[in-house]
Amino acid sequence: MTETLPMAGAASNVNAVGLSKNDYRGAPSTLCQGCGHNSISNQIIAAMYEMSVMPEDVIKFSGIGCSSKSPTYFMNRSFGFNSLHGRMPSIATGALFGDARMKGIGVSGDGDSASIGMGQFKHAMRRNVNMVYIVENNGVYGLTKGQFSATAEKGLQLKKQGENPYMPVDICAEALISNATFVARSFAGNPKQVKEILKAAFAHKGIAVLDIISPCVTFNNQENAYHSYAWGKDHEEPLHEISYIAPRNEIMLEREMNEGEIREVSMHDGSVVILKNLEKGYDPTNRTLALQALEEARENNWLLTGLIYVNTSKPTLTDIYNLVDAPLNRLTQADLRPDRAMIDKVNALMF
Amino acid sequence: MNKIVNDFSITVGTKNGSGSSTANNTILRSIFKMGIPVSGKNLFPSNIQGLPTWYTIRVNKDGFIARKETSDIVIAINPDSFAKDLASVAPGGAFFYADDIRQPITRVDIAIYPMPIKAIVKADANIPADFRDLVGNMVYVGILAQMINIDMEAIRAALTFHFKGKQKPIDMNFNALKAGADWAAANLEKKDPFQLEKMNKTEGMIMADGNTAAAIGSVFGGIQFAAWYPITPASSLAEALNDYLPVLRKREDGKHTYAVIQAEDELAALGMAIGAGWSGLRSMTSTSGPGLSLMTEFAGLAYYAEVPVVVWDVQRIGPSTGLPTRTSQGDLTFTYTIGHGDSHSVILLPGDVYECFEFGWKSFDLAERLQTPVFVLSDLDMGMNQWISKPFQYPERPMDRGKVLWEKDLEELKGNWGRYLDKDGDAIPYRTIPGNKNPFSAYFTRGTGHDEYAKYTEDSDIYMKNMERLARKQQTAKQYVPAPVLHANKNATIGIIAYGSTENAIFEAQHQLETEHGIQSEFLRIRAVPFSKEVDAFIEKHDQIFVVEMNRDGQLQQILYIEYPQYAMKFKSVAYHDGLPAAAKWVREGILARYEKAGNGTQKKAAVKKTAAKAASKPKVKKAAVKKSAATSSPKGKSKSAVKSKRK
């Protein structure tokens, strides 16, 4: 059965900073009903509430696309910057210098990050920008009505586009190879895992990439669609763990996955995604193993979920710059304009 | 033989990457140190090593130091450009050449001086073999110094500056130079008229390049964030930030009040700068034309979302990659309405190295006051060449951080504010900054349609109202931008409008027009777009206005057509686009080609006379003072008194 979305949390409850869950909500979503992105927004609300984060300590970022609309739908009390297509990383990189105590939560999509924004995506990784970087990954361009994205698998069929002839980009592998310090993957229909990974990502200092498979209910609903492998089609029978979900309802896991478990999940069209939870005892601090695990998953057509890699020893971008303790954006002329005497010194430095 | 004192040009033809820039800068600085007005322009190819490159020096006792199109003295070190260099010597000029170049010398109308550079260097046992080519450049400086009388103490001062006081390289270079001078004294007979004599016209002045000046100005403007991507001719601006920030903003705790990031490309550079500007930092980027093209989408976002940021464009000649190492004023119309959809830009147009400094700090005040991107259009000539300048002056007013609401402001307002609400009627809204802990402080910034409270909307009326406000904001900007500089002349029969680095060429052309053709002119140097009312008055006053600029299509003229359609017939374009620093010759010839004899002053109506009378009542700077300012290449005496600041 479908899990209840955490929309109606008990309003009387307050967290450690005295805020109710309502203080973390945003405007009503204008995305399609049943869109996985809404579930992710709700898990962000739940995670921030449960972690007792002050909304004023968070900056929301996004690029352009369906996913990038979603920061409007959570945490109204946080500043937000809905930027340009593929350019969320640069906006966030600059903005987080304003007050380095703040943490970014960025929501991007597979088009926004894996296509037009691939360059900025990878450079945000290598700079270790202090933000949670969520890619709501559905393999399709929703807002422009159904074109292939760069994460769509080879051979995918879409109504207007025909067959996708190209190999896909793996967000987690790209992040890892670009020296991201936190790489995880989850599935929008696994809200508990999404929330737990979100919490870990938010607690991480530096860039935390979350590739969250978030099925598009409207445009990626063709026969043989999104990560729908022939193998999966042939093996529909073992899908007893997943109840049938009527189209336009969100796809949710019936129960949590165990460590190492492989589970097939039906998409809206009845096609299948194969989730593979990381094995028990998997060491996410070993980068070589992480790369190996991703490669093994690729060979098996698994979508590896869980915390794939974490490195807590790398300084964040703002750490590297050895900034003053006060937020830069609170500094005044006394801090910023050199003394009058310095002008003579400068002139003396000229010929 | 007649002597020609302190009035000639020198061109050195060398190979790129041969280390001649130290030698050429030494000549330039030495002449400056002798108190003589001088300029140096590096005419270099887009190449690291091997292609011909020229360095041209203009010495002029009257202060006309724009690049001269003819060369009185040519020094030929590069065999590849030897024939061209020989042909370029003006009749009656002098030709110095490295005597290991064995090519025919056919000219008899010039003085010829062979220079045994290699032999002289080889004879000095103190010069390591590896350094011979490098130090060899100093030999031609020494020979030239001997022949035109460059002061040896001035040379020593120039070398001491260049090598930051390090005795070993100073001595090695000076000795090579001295060896050249001694050889010339013993072996060359003076056959040309060119001589230097000490003056006192550069006293109290400095020499600097515009990119360094811009960086220093930005530091005094309180810069907190810069993101940039390497591009000629802008790279040295960001590099100068890295040089001067640690010196000028050094703190006892060793921590930093700023961050400079080399971005992955120009898109990211402006994106980062906008992010930082949005989060309350004094933020900038620096680039050139191709980079600005990439920044276009972000520029539109900053305009529409009203984010303060400063963008320096050190212009080079386009279109496309163009001539990457040649100067231009070709990005003006592009910047004027940069981005898709309707937009207007605030543009600053520094005219010399001092104004690069001045607009370095002023641009931040403007960006934060107006909450909009401010573009500063410098160029390669200003940005990369050493110019004489008056010393940098401490900003005369405190920083203007614009309309920002912090916690206590919001408490007073009880959270009642709207990000894009025009509360003051000047079309500039109030903004809050991330980190503000008031629960009503946050808003959602977007490049999509938004209402006065920053909420997403596609409502037509709200869209139009917001866009009309942005148009009004551009009108508000007129009272904040730097006023133009008027070089007044009450006997003028024509007006000249120009901007940027052409000023010295225009001074000289004005002088030639007056003395050789009897045409008196009045010159308005525009320093900003949008145009303030001083520009209106100047245009109303003159019947013939020559718009001088370094591009093909007359870009400022195009903007003047748009802004002053009622006066369109007055404007005559003098546009030239050879990629070289401005020279008086094309300015003069361009004006003469389009000049119409007076007598058609039919447009002079009563209202115009009134304006003219008003303008005439302002303190005027005499011609001599203009010359003086030309001599010093500084705004000192540049009719400053005629420029009323419009700031509050």
CA–CA distance, B17 with A187 (Å, rounded to integer):
57
Mean pLDDT score, B386-397 = 97
pLDDT band for B174, please (50, 70, 90 cuts): very high
Which of A146-160, B171-185, B254-268 is predicted least confidently?
Answer: A146-160
Quick check: bond before A71 cis, omega within 30?
no
Quick check: bond before B233 cis, omega within 30?
yes
Give the DSSP H or E segment for A182. strand A182-187
Mean pLDDT score, B128-137 = 85
Question: Do β-strands A157-158 and B206-209 pair in parallel, antiparallel, or remain unpaired?
Answer: unpaired
Determine the pLDDT at residue A246. Answer: 33
Test B392 with A340 for CB contact under 8 angstroms.
no
Tokens of B147: 């022949």
Distance from the Cα of A51 to chain B's closest Cα (Å) equals 18
Residue B381, pLDDT above cutoff 50: yes
Which of A110-119, A158-167, A315-324, B622-631 is predicted least confidently?
Answer: B622-631
| Cβ of residue B458 closer than 8 Å to a chain A Cβ | no
pLDDT band for B247, please (50, 70, 90 cuts): very high
| Cβ of residue A98 closer than 8 Å to a chain B Cβ | yes
Contacts of B227 in chain A (CB under 8 A): 90, 93-94
Tokens of A61: 């970022």
| Cβ of residue B364 closer than 8 Å to a chain A Cβ | no
| Cβ of residue A82 closer than 8 Å to a chain B Cβ | yes
Mean pLDDT score, A320-325 = 97
Determine the pLDDT at residue B178. Answer: 95
Distance from the Cα of A240 to chain B's closest Cα (Å) equals 43
- What b/e sequence results for A244-253 when a residue is b if at least 16 CB atoms lie within 10 Å of its CB, and e otherwise? ebeeeebbbb
CA–CA distance, B207 with B281 (Å, rounded to integer):
31
Interface test with B, best of A41, A64, A336 (most B CBs within 10 A): A336
Determine the pLDDT at residue B286. Answer: 98
Mean pLDDT score, B216-230 = 98
pLDDT band for A33, please (50, 70, 90 cuts): confident
Determine the pLDDT at residue B47. Answer: 83
Q: What digits encode the pLDDT tens for the residues B434-449?
A: 999 999 999 999 999 9
Which of B130-134, B220-224, B513-517, B629-633 is predicted least confidently?
Answer: B629-633
CATH superfamily of A6-326: Thiamin diphosphate (ThDP)-binding fold, Pyr/PP domains (3.40.50.970)
Query: Taken in order B135, B139, B141, B146, is the CA torsion positive or negative?
Result: positive
Name the β-bridge partners of A140: A148
Q: What digits encode the pLDDT tens for the residues B69-82?
A: 999 999 999 999 99
Q: Domains in chain B, ordered, with CATH?
A: 4-203 (3.40.920.10), 208-389 (3.40.50.970), 407-477 (no CATH), 485-642 (3.40.50.920)
| Cβ of residue A351 closer than 8 Å to a chain B Cβ | yes
Q: For the residues of B547-616, what is the DSSP string, one character each?
A: EEESSSS-HHHHHHHHH-GGGGGGEEEEE--SSS---HHHHHHHHHHH---S--GGG--HHHHHHHHHHH
Which of A20-24, B52-56, B613-617 is predicted least confidently?
Answer: B613-617
Mean pLDDT score, A308-333 = 96
Residue B371, pLDDT above cutoff 50: yes
Residue B619, pLDDT above cutoff 90: no
| Cβ of residue A55 closer than 8 Å to a chain B Cβ | yes
Name the β-bridge partners of B53: B14
Question: Looking at the partner chain, which of B254, B276, B392 has a beta carbon nearest the beta carbon of A343?
Answer: B392
Name the β-bridge partners of B10: B57, B73
pLDDT band for A162, please (50, 70, 90 cuts): confident
Tokens of B402: 């614009």
Mean pLDDT score, A29-55 = 92
Residue B581, pLDDT above cutoff 80: yes
Quick check: bond before B116 cis, omega within 30?
no
Tokens 């005219």 belong to residue: B351
Q: Which of residues 310-339 of A touch B (CB under 8 A)?
A: 318, 321-325, 327-331, 333, 335-338
| Cβ of residue A68 closer than 8 Å to a chain B Cβ | no
- In percent, how much of chain B has pLDDT > 70? 92
Distance from the Cα of B534 to chain A's closest Cα (Å) equals 31
Work out the mean pLDDT of chain A and round it to a whole number: 84
Mean pLDDT score, B601-606 = 42
CA–CA distance, A303 with A283 (Å, rounded to integer):
18
Contacts of B297 in chain A (CB under 8 A): 84, 87
Q: Which of residues 162-221 of A touch B (CB under 8 A)?
A: none
Task: Tell me which range, A17-31, B215-229, B407-421, is most confidently predicted by mean pLDDT.
Answer: B215-229
| Cβ of residue A295 closer than 8 Å to a chain B Cβ | no
Residue B375, pLDDT above cutoff 50: yes
Task: From B324, B276, B328, select the one nearest B298 (Cα to Cα).
Answer: B276
Question: Looking at the partner chain, which of B275, B446, B456 has a beta carbon nearest the beta carbon of A95?
Answer: B275
Contacts of B298 in chain A (CB under 8 A): 84, 87
Determine the pLDDT at residue B598. Answer: 64
Q: For the residues of B229-298, what is the DSSP string, one character each?
A: ---TTTHHHHHHHHHHHHHHT--TT--BS-EEEE-SSHHHHHHHHHHHHHTT--EEEEE-HHHHHHHHHH
Determine the pLDDT at residue B511. Answer: 97
CA–CA distance, A98 with B416 (Å, rounded to integer):
24
Test A321 with B433 for CB contact under 8 angstroms.
no
Determine the pLDDT at residue B637. Answer: 39
Q: What digits encode the pLDDT tens for the residues A173-203?
A: 999 999 999 999 998 888 888 999 999 999 9
Test A343 with B436 for CB contact under 8 angstroms.
no
Tokens of B577: 């686009």
Q: For the residues of B178-211, what is the DSSP string, one character each?
A: HHHHHHHHHH----S-EE----STTTT-EEEEHH
Contacts of A318 in chain B (CB under 8 A): 259
Question: Looking at the partner chain, which of B256, B279, B447 has a beta carbon nearest the beta carbon of A323?
Answer: B256
Determine the pLDDT at residue A126. Answer: 97
Question: Looking at the partner chain, which of A77, A97, A340 has a beta carbon nearest the beta carbon of B276?
Answer: A97
Determine the pLDDT at residue B208. Answer: 97
Contacts of A326 in chain B (CB under 8 A): none
Mean pLDDT score, A236-262 = 52
Estimate the crossing angle of helix B152-162 against helix B167-187, to 10 degrees.
150
CA–CA distance, A17 with B349 (Å, rounded to integer):
51
Mean pLDDT score, B316-322 = 96
Residue B560, pLDDT above cutoff 90: yes
- In percent, how much of chain A has pLDDT > 70? 83
Determine the pLDDT at residue A215. Answer: 78
Q: Is A24 exposed, middle or buried (0-12, 13-18, 19+ CB in 10 A)?
A: buried
- Across the A:B interface, residue pairs with CB atoms under 8 Å apart total 216
Tokens of A91: 């906006």
Work out the mean pLDDT of chain B and round it to a whole number: 92
Residue A241, pLDDT above cutoff 50: no
Task: From B631, B635, B621, select the one nearest B393 (Cα to Cα).
Answer: B635
DSSP 8-class letter at A114: I
Contacts of B394 in chain A (CB under 8 A): 340, 343
Q: Confirm if B72 and B94 have CB atoms less than 8 A apart.
A: yes
CB within 8 A of B128, min separation 6: which ones? Answer: none
CA–CA distance, A197 with A177 (Å, rounded to integer):
20
Better-predicted residue by pLDDT, A4 or B436: B436
Test B442 with A342 for CB contact under 8 angstroms.
no
Interface test with B, best of A48, A337, A339 (most B CBs within 10 A): A337
Test A324 with B257 for CB contact under 8 angstroms.
yes
Distance from the Cα of B189 to chain A's closest Cα (Å) equals 33
CB within 8 A of A231, min separation 6: which ones? Answer: A301
| Cβ of residue B208 closer than 8 Å to a chain A Cβ | yes
Determine the pLDDT at residue A221. Answer: 52
Name the β-bridge partners of B96: B75, B113
Strand extents, DSSP E, B181-305: 194-195, 206-209, 225-228, 259-262, 283-287
Q: Confirm if A42 and A30 have CB atoms less than 8 A apart.
A: no
Q: Is B203 exposed, middle or buried (0-12, 13-18, 19+ CB in 10 A)?
A: exposed
Chain A residue closest in CA terms to B207: A351
CA–CA distance, A311 with A181 (Å, rounded to integer):
5
Count of residues making up chain B: 648
Residue A222, pLDDT above cutoff 60: no
Task: From B86, B92, B91, B58, select the one nearest B74 (Cα to Cα).
Answer: B86
Determine the pLDDT at residue A250. Answer: 63
Q: What digits encode the pLDDT tens for the residues A263-278?
A: 776 665 555 667 778 8
- What b/e sequence results for B166-189 when a residue is b if at least 16 CB atoms lie within 10 Å of its CB, and e otherwise? eeebbebbbbbbbbbbebbeeebe
- ipTM surpassing 0.85: yes
| Cβ of residue B276 closer than 8 Å to a chain A Cβ | yes
Distance from the Cα of A90 to chain B's closest Cα (Å) equals 5
Name the β-bridge partners of B587: none
Test A350 with B277 for CB contact under 8 angstroms.
no
> Which amino acid belongs to residue A259?
E
Residue A6, pLDDT above cutoff 60: no
Mean pLDDT score, B516-525 = 97
Contacts of B434 in chain A (CB under 8 A): 59, 79, 95, 98-99, 102, 329
Question: Looking at the partner chain, which of A81, A94, A324 has a beta carbon nearest the beta carbon of B256?
Answer: A324
Chain A residue closest in CA terms to B280: A329
Contacts of A324 in chain B (CB under 8 A): 251, 253, 255-257
Contacts of A93 in chain B (CB under 8 A): 227, 261, 268, 271-272, 275
Mean pLDDT score, B232-258 = 97
Domain positions in chain A: 6-326
